[in-house]
Structure 1
Amino acid sequence: MAFDPDLVDRMEAALVALGQRPERRRMFGGIALMIGGNMSFGTSRDELHVRVGPDQYEAALAKIGAREMDLTGRVMKGWVTVDGPSDLDDDALADWARMTADFVTTLPVK
């Protein structure tokens, strides 16, 4: 399996709890959750990819399990990868959801 469907459900629920209406899309062998047409979360293999934006980037990297997102040999600023996301409790996942929603909702709707 290329992604953890339970994790996608939990990610979606965390965004819904914040009043968002995420849309699922298959992307990069996993699932991405879009807010207003902009990607917020993604998952593939046993990794969680979170779009946090430039202002929260350093704070996101300081969180346990987070590292620079590099899928192609080039670091994607404003994005972090979280290793072992299935081990995150609901509060930790809610923190990631808040962080991504805070940024993604500032972007123009596509």
Structure 2
Amino acid sequence: MTPDDEVLVGRLRQQLKGRRGVSEQRMFGGLCFMVNGNMCVGPWQGSLVVRLDKADHEATQAEPHAGPMNITGKTMRGWALVAPAGIAEDADLARWVGRAVEFVRTLPAK
């Protein structure tokens, strides 16, 4: 993980502290935050990876600072990569994290 990722992990821990069903799992050379066993949010090279409803993919991609999640070379529908400018303020990070947690809670627990 990059130093920026380490800082973001600390901020994510603060955002997710006390929420039920949240766990951390190492993957893709970094750390992912899970909700009820489903991937939810995590850092990626200083940006924030968020999981959201596939049905809202195009609208999410059109939001400021949001772009496609394609770390494998293929865009992953239902995921967005939020640039550092889009999560610079704690309120902005909280909004993205809240949306992701809300969506992931609709998925069956693993």
1 or 2 for the larger relative contact order (CA 8 Å, sep ≥6)? 1
| TM-score, normalized by the shorter chain, greater than 0.5 | yes
* Residue-by-residue CA offset, 1:2-23 (whole Å, 9 max, x unaligned): 3522211211222336x34421
Question: In the alignment, residue 82 of structure 2 is paired with which amino acid?
Answer: V
Counterpart contact for 1:52–1:78, Cα < 8 Å:
yes
TM-score with structure 2 setting the length? 0.84
SS at match of 2:54: coil
TM-score with structure 1 setting the length? 0.84
| Structure 1 residues without counterparts, runs of 5 or longer | none
User: Structure 1 pair 68/88, CA: closer, same or farther in 2 (3 Å)?
Assistant: same
Per-residue deviation, 1:93: 0.4
Between the aligned residues of both structures, percent identity stands at 37
Counterpart contact for 1:56–1:99, Cα < 8 Å:
no
Per-residue deviation, 1:85: 5.9
Aligned residues: 109
- Determine the structure 1 residue equivalent to 2:91: 91
Tell me how far apart the structure 2 counterparts of residues 36 and 87 of structure 1 sit (CA, whole Å): 24
Matches within 5 A, 1:1-110: 1-2=1-2, 4-16=5-17, 19-84=19-84, 88-110=88-110
CA RMSD of aligned residues (A): 2.1
Tell me how far apart the structure 1 counterparts of residues 96 and 106 of structure 2 sit (CA, whole Å): 16
